[in-house]
Structure 1
Amino acid sequence: MAASPSPVAGKGTIPSSKAPISLRLYKVLGTNYDDPGVKEALVTLSELYDTQRETQVNKRVDSDSEEEDESSSPEKTPVLSRENVAEKARKNFRRDVGSKLADGSRKFLQAFGEVDQKLDVLQSVLADMRTTCDNAQAQLRSTGDSCSVLLNRANRLHNQRADVETRQTIVSLLLERFTLTEEEVQAVVSRDVPVGPRLFEAMTKIEQIRADATVLLSGEEGQTQAGLDIMADTASTLEQGYQKLLRGCCLEFSKFGRGANLEVSDDTKEAVRRLQKRPELLEEALLILSETRHNTLLQNFLVALTKGGPAGVPRPIELHAHDPIRYVGDMLAWVHQTIAGEHEFLEALFDIKQDKRMVGSVRKFNHDNPQAVQEALIGQLLDTAVDGLAKPLKLRILQTIKSQEGSITSYKLANLLQFYAVTMSRTVGESAFLSATLHELTEVAHQVFFEGIEAQSRSLLRFLHPPNEDLSPPLTLYDHAQILREMMAVYDSSLLGDEDEPNRREGFTRILDILIPPIIEMCEKMADLKGTKDPRKDAWDRHIFLINCLEYLESVLHPFAFTMKHLGNLEALIDTHAQGLVDSHFEQLLVDSGLSPIIAAIDNHSADTPLSHIPQASSQSLTAAVRQFSTFLSTLDVLSSPRLQLLTAPALPGTIHRRALTKIALAYEKICIQVKRPENKYEFVSTILGSQRPFGQTSTLWQLLGIQEPVR
């Protein structure tokens, strides 16, 4: 082989393209052995020849061990060294690689043959499986159809079960709501279960069942059979419950007899409340109660009259029969106290709450009030319970009234009866038998009283005598006025306080109309009996006597407001007689003052004749009169007059005296006015009037008399 040029022969030397070894060397030298592909190829090549060497070594060892048995082997396989292997590899690389590839291909073919066999088996199995799957799918479709039918049926059964459970729940609730338990039925029908909470609860449930059942009777489709059955089944049970309540109440009411404790239990109150829904049953039970209380109260009243209380305290009422006021008052007080206790008992029985009404005040019924029915029942029961007291009470009171002779006692009895009649009417009602009896007794008592005072008034005119010398009221007037004063005090104390003023006056007007006119007539006739030879003195004494009598009578009536009408009449009479005294006293003062002739001349003279030409009013007469009037003023007592000292009223004498002096001052003023007129032709007027007090000045005269000048 020709030598290739050296790669380092000189700069710029270019390898020849025709030197394959150089190209190969350059290629080898330029190869990058860090490439993973190259590394992998070298590793594969190394393993190939290492494997061949090891194989040859193993074969040599095996051949040495089998030399004796294999004597027919012509030669032994030589063992290659690493250099020989590399040399051989360089020579037989292509063949070795091809052989290796052929061996690998045979192995692949063998493996693929086995795979082909397995695939044939697998294909057969898959065909069987496909057939099986087709059969399974057909069965699944058939099973699915069957399951669908079963599921639909199961769904329908489930829905039916839910519907049945709902219906069962509704039926259970319906039975629970519309039926009674065995214990509740026994509480209603059994006699062993007393009237109490168990019975009340059972009846409440029955009533609730019947109330709920009305819904079943008023549906859109009309009455349902269930509602009719429920109402029919509960009707008899409810009726048994009411009958049991009736028997229990009747038994309990029969125990409220004499000496029984009137405390009402809660069970009895509840039973009465429930029986109010059945008035006919309640009326039957209350009939037994009213009869029991009627007999009991009558017996208690008779015992109180004759035996008194336990151990004689309080004492029997009839022990005080000699004292009519106390006797009648004790009987009426016992009845009133009994009615009050009975009323409290009945209010507790009907469970009515106590109001703040005062004892004896008017009981107001409100028909819109739910308690109005109970109040009416209480009134009926009270009337029935106490009507037995009316007969023995009436007999004893009538006997007491008719046995009285004094008008005061009769009036006290009448007033006492009237007070209790009004009180009972307000407690048990106007229509109650006891109220009617007391009103009847009150009328009898008033009739007896009025007959007595009328007879007493007529007796005043039978025995008349002249007045005393001091003109004081007669003793008969004092006695009669004292009786009148006691009657007015009794009447005033008997008033309840809620009467209006007209009713207060009207209640005593008839008595005053009977008693006052006879007294005045008696005094007038007595005044007429005092006769003297001097008519003026008789008239004067008559006025004083009548004023004294009327003033005393007025003082008797004055403390009481209900006598205003007759007080006005008396004051008018007193003013009339006082005016008579004023006129008479003025005439006397006019004479004493010397002005009487002048006043008479002024009153009687005519307009054609001058006043100074009348002898009684001449200048000389006028001068003498003025002088006498001045003397009269100097001796005059302006506060009182001895002529009026017989008047018993403290302030009246001074009043009459001042009124007479007022008229004297007006008379003097009248004289001054007439004297100063020119037509009367008086000379030296200022000298005549101004020479003596009051110097012709009326203002000075008012001051001297101590009287305020009247406003004109």
Structure 2
Amino acid sequence: MDGSISNTMLNKKIAKLLESDLDHDKETLEAVKILSSCFTDNTITIRRNLSNTLEKRSLVIIENFQSCFGEIKRLMESLHLDLTSMNQSCLQTMNKIKNLKTKNQNLLEKTHYLKNERKTVDIQQAIVDKFLDRFHLKPHEIAILKGLPSKEDPHQPLPMTETFFELLGKCRQIHEDSKILLSSSQQTTGIETMDAMSVLEEAAFERLYKWTLNALRSFNPDSMEMNNLLFKAIGFISERTVLLKNCLDEYGTIRRAAVVRNLIDALTRGGPGGNPPPFDLNSNDPVRYVGDILTWVHQAIASEKELLVQLLQQCDPTTFKEINPIKTSLSFIMESLNRPIKARIEQLLMSEPSSTKSHGPLVLFKIKNLIKFYSKVFSTELLPDSQLVYTMVEIDSLAHRVFINSLNFHCAYKLGKSADGDNEQPPIDLTPTDSLMQTIYLIDQILSFQNSFILSPVDRQEIMITMVNVVIKPLIQACRVCAAKLPGLEMSIFLLNCFHEIYQIISKCEFVDEFKEALENQINDYQTSLINENASNIITYFGLTAVYYAIKNEANLPLSSITGCDALALQFCSKKVDFFLAKPDNFQLPQLSYLKSVELRDNIKRKSLEFLCQMYREIYEAINKKENEYDEPESLLTQTPDHFSSILL
């Protein structure tokens, strides 16, 4: 029974071994490999001694293991002895340290206290450094602001640089920041800091002011090249009005000498190489001469203004509430031009109207308007009370007086005078005289120049009133004096020709509506006179004058009983009416052909015929009334008024 069980178990083990995958069983493979190393030959003796062989091998392995661990044990025992010795040393050291700590406890406490104190002092030192950096300047910075000599060159002060302006700004910032201290517990420190910065700022401003004056004096007045340092200096100085005024006065003194020298050169020498030529070469052309001088002055004002704007570019405009530094300096600089401008223009104007060197009214008018125009231009660029503006006003007033004197001379000595100086006679053709046409041409030229020039309405009105009072009224009077030598009809024709020319030129004018209306009324009066004269002349030719006057006088007698109004006379008149209607133009006044204006001539003829038609109608109707006792009145005047009017009109 037991044998069968053992066989069964062995069979199972064998089956298990056969079923196992030895290729992947590493332990089994390793065991087999070791086991194979124990066989040199597969004999029964070797197989029987396999157990002894394995036990011997195990014994060898155990002996090797014991030998190795014996060495390790020895080393561990030596290490144990060393650690025990080290532990004893550490215990001794700890005991010593405890003893020393007990002895030096006060020293450690004091060291810790001093360490904390050092931290506090370091913090306070950092605070003080920050305070000094913000509210104080370093010695070398103070030396720069005060302009003290440098260490390298004790005899030469530090030059002006951008650093100076940065430090001056920092000084001001410190002064402003010190006001914060006044609201804290550090009021004394704040006041002392503000006082120190104020003193330092004053010293810096004194140095800056002196440097600016020297810089302005050292510039070449012809080129006037300025740098950024000067702009910044003027920007700071502008806060002190008195200092700025002194600097601008110094600048103005330099520039006014250069400006007047440049004007004299332009007048006498001209530009480089004679281009442009000197103004004095054009003195025989007064309008161009005056225009060149005033244009040059205008350009000089623009150039100087540009330099001043550049010089004051970094100034705060809000500091100029009471003064305008640009206009003030420009006015001061341009004062130097008063004498040469005034002397030359006055010399040009001051000549007797009767002399050969005198200029005509037209030239003087052009000069006057040039002066007035530039006077207004200068007054906008300069101060109203500046010397140059005042000089221009004086010259303008002089030019106006000279212009008026020239007009008066023209009216007094040339109107109504012939080329030989004798009293002018009306032309045979009753056209306007030569002096009248010359005067009208002069007025037309003056008006044309006025319209091409930029003048204000007030100036234009002043000119027109002057022309009317000084020229046109004397012109009308001269026409009347000349016309007084003619018979009535010729006088009306001549005056109509003259007044029409005057009216044509007056119609272009402004601000003289009242005078224009008065002249128009005079023209209408003379036209009415000629209309009546022309119509009366034709009625006289008809022989109907007696009838017409009888109608107008409202005679108490019948018309047929009045001499010249009988039937026989009216029949004779009817024949003349028929003859007139055949060629009405042949019966117009021959003097009407002398009218220079076709419009006036046609208007007079037309209104004469209208008046004639009205007179004829009145006569015709009166003849056909029963109370005038005409027999067969329709046979006396064969032309009815409507037919008469239709032919003429």
TM-score, normalised relative to structure 2: 0.71
Per the TM alignment, residue 194 of structure 1 is displaced from its structure 2 partner at its CA by 4.5
Aligned CA RMSD, in angstroms, stands at 3.6
Is 2:477 the counterpart of 1:521?
yes
* Secondary structure, counterpart of 2:594 in structure 1: coil
**Greater CA deviation, 291-300 or 564-573?**
564-573
CA deviation vs aligned residue, 1:224-276 (integer Å, no higher than 9, x gap): 2222112101012211222233233223322444322x454333223222211
- 2:142 matched to 1:188? no
Q: CA deviation at 1:166?
A: 8.6
Aligned-partner Cα distance in 2 for 1:544–1:489: 29
Q: Return the alpha-carbon distance in structure 1 between the equivalents of residues 317 and 202 of structure 2.
A: 28
For 1:705, the aligned partner's letter is L
1:388 matches 2:331? no
The equivalent position to 1:231 in structure 2, one of 165, 170, 194, is: 194
Q: Is the 8 A contact 1:382 1:428 kept in 2?
A: yes
Distance (Å, rounded) in 1 between the aligned partners of 2:559 and 2:138: 127
Q: Distance in 2 between matches of 1:585 and 1:215?
A: 105
CA distance in 2 between counterparts of 1:677 and 1:267 reads 112
Contact 1:257 1:293 survives alignment (8 Å): no
> How many residue pairs get matched?
520
- Structure 2 CA distance, aligned partners of 1:642 and 1:584? 12
Mark the CA change 1:572 to 1:214 in structure 2 (over 3 Å): closer, same or farther: farther
Deviation at 1:603, TM superposition (A): 0.5
1:578–1:656 CA contact under 8 A, matched in 2: yes
Equivalent of 1:407 in 356, 360, 367: 360
Shift of 1:526: 1.4
Instruction: Identify which of 293, 305, 309 aligns with 2:271.
Output: 309
CA–CA distance in 2 between the matches of 1:681 and 1:252? 118
User: Within 5 Å, which residues of 2 pair with 1:2-401?
Assistant: 174-181=131-138, 184-190=141-147, 194-217=159-182, 219=183, 224-260=187-223, 262-351=224-313, 370=318, 373=321, 376-401=324-349
Q: Distance in 2 between matches of 1:657 and 1:630?
A: 19
Q: CA deviation at 1:340?
A: 1.6
Deviation at 1:165, TM superposition (A): 8.9
In the alignment, what sits opposite 2:501? Answer: 552
Instruction: Give distance in 1, aligned partners of 2:537 and 2:588.
Output: 14
Cα drift, residue 162 of structure 1: 11
- 1:468 equivalent in alignment to 2:430: no
Larger Rg: 1
Show the counterpart of 2:376: 422
Asked if 2 retains the 8 angstrom alpha-carbon contact of 1:258 and 1:296, the reply is yes
Q: Which residue of 1 aligns with 2:37?
A: none
Pairwise CA distance, 1:346 = 1.0
Give the match's secondary structure for 2:521. Answer: helix
Range that drifts further, 397-406 or 227-236: 397-406
Distance 1:288 1:465, change over 3 A: closer
Offset from partner CA, 1:514-555 (integer Å, 9 cap, x none): 11222222221111123xxxxxxx111001111112222333
Q: Which moved more, 1:322-331 or 1:616-625?
A: 616-625
The answer for the alignment partner of 1:453 in structure 2 is 407
C-alpha contact (below 8 Å) 2:535/2:608 kept by paired residues:
yes
- Per the TM alignment, residue 395 of structure 1 is displaced from its structure 2 partner at its CA by 2.0
- Look up the match of 2:151: none
Larger RCO (alpha carbons 8 Å, 6+ apart):
2
Which secondary structure state, in structure 1, belongs to the residue aligned with residue 425 of structure 2? coil
Partners of 2:299 and 2:308 lie apart in 1 by 14
Give, in whole Å, the separation in 1 of the partners of 2:323 and 2:613: 76
Q: Secondary structure at the match of 1:585?
A: helix
SS at match of 2:337: helix
Q: Write the distance in 2 (CA, Å) between the matches of 1:220 and 1:618.
A: 132
Q: Name the counterpart of 1:577.
A: 526
Alignment deviations for residues 189-234 of structure 1 (CA, whole Å, 9 cap, x no partner)? 33665545322222222222223333444x499x922221121010
Q: State whether residues 401 and 413 of structure 1, in contact with CA within 8 Å, keep that contact through their aligned partners in structure 2.
A: no
Give the partner amino acid of 2:203.
Q
CA 1:369–1:297 in structure 2 vs 1: closer, same or farther (change >3 Å)?
Answer: closer
Please name the residue that 1:133 is paired with: none
SS at match of 2:585: coil
* Structure 2 match to 1:487: 446
The structure-2 alpha-carbon separation of the partners of 1:373 and 1:598, relative to structure 1 and needing over 3 Å to count, comes to same
Cα deviation code 1:141-187 (max 9, x no counterpart): xxxxxxxxx9xxx99x99x9999999777656544433335564344
How far, CA to CA, are the matches of 2:425 and 2:310 in structure 1? 70
Q: Give yes or no for contact 2:534–2:589 (8 Å, CA) kept in 1.
A: no
Question: 1:628-667 alignment to 2 at 5 Å?
Answer: 628-637=576-585, 642-667=590-615
| Counterpart-to-counterpart distance in 2, 1:167 and 1:523 | 108
Cα pair 1:291 1:385 within 8 Å, conserved: yes
TM-score (norm 1): 0.65
| C-alpha spacing 1:561/1:375, structure 2 compared with 1 (3 Å) | farther
- Equivalent in 490, 499, 505 of residue 541 of structure 1: 490
Structure 1 residues 230 and 525: CA distance shift in structure 2, 3 A: same
Which amino acid is the alignment partner of residue 197 of structure 1? Answer: E
2:33 — aligned with what? none
SS of the residue corresponding to residue 484 of structure 2 reads helix
Q: Cα deviation per residue 1:91-118 (whole Å; 9 max; x = unaligned)? A: xxxxxxxxxxxxxxxxxxxxxxxxxxxx
Q: Distance in 2 between matches of 1:586 and 1:344?
A: 76
- Per the alignment, residue 496 of structure 1 pairs with 454
Q: Which consecutive residues of structure 1, in runs of 5 or more, have no partner in the other structure? A: 1-149, 354-367, 531-537, 707-712
Residue aligning to 2:39:
none
- 1:632 and 1:248, CA in 2 relative to 1: closer, same or farther beyond 3 A? same
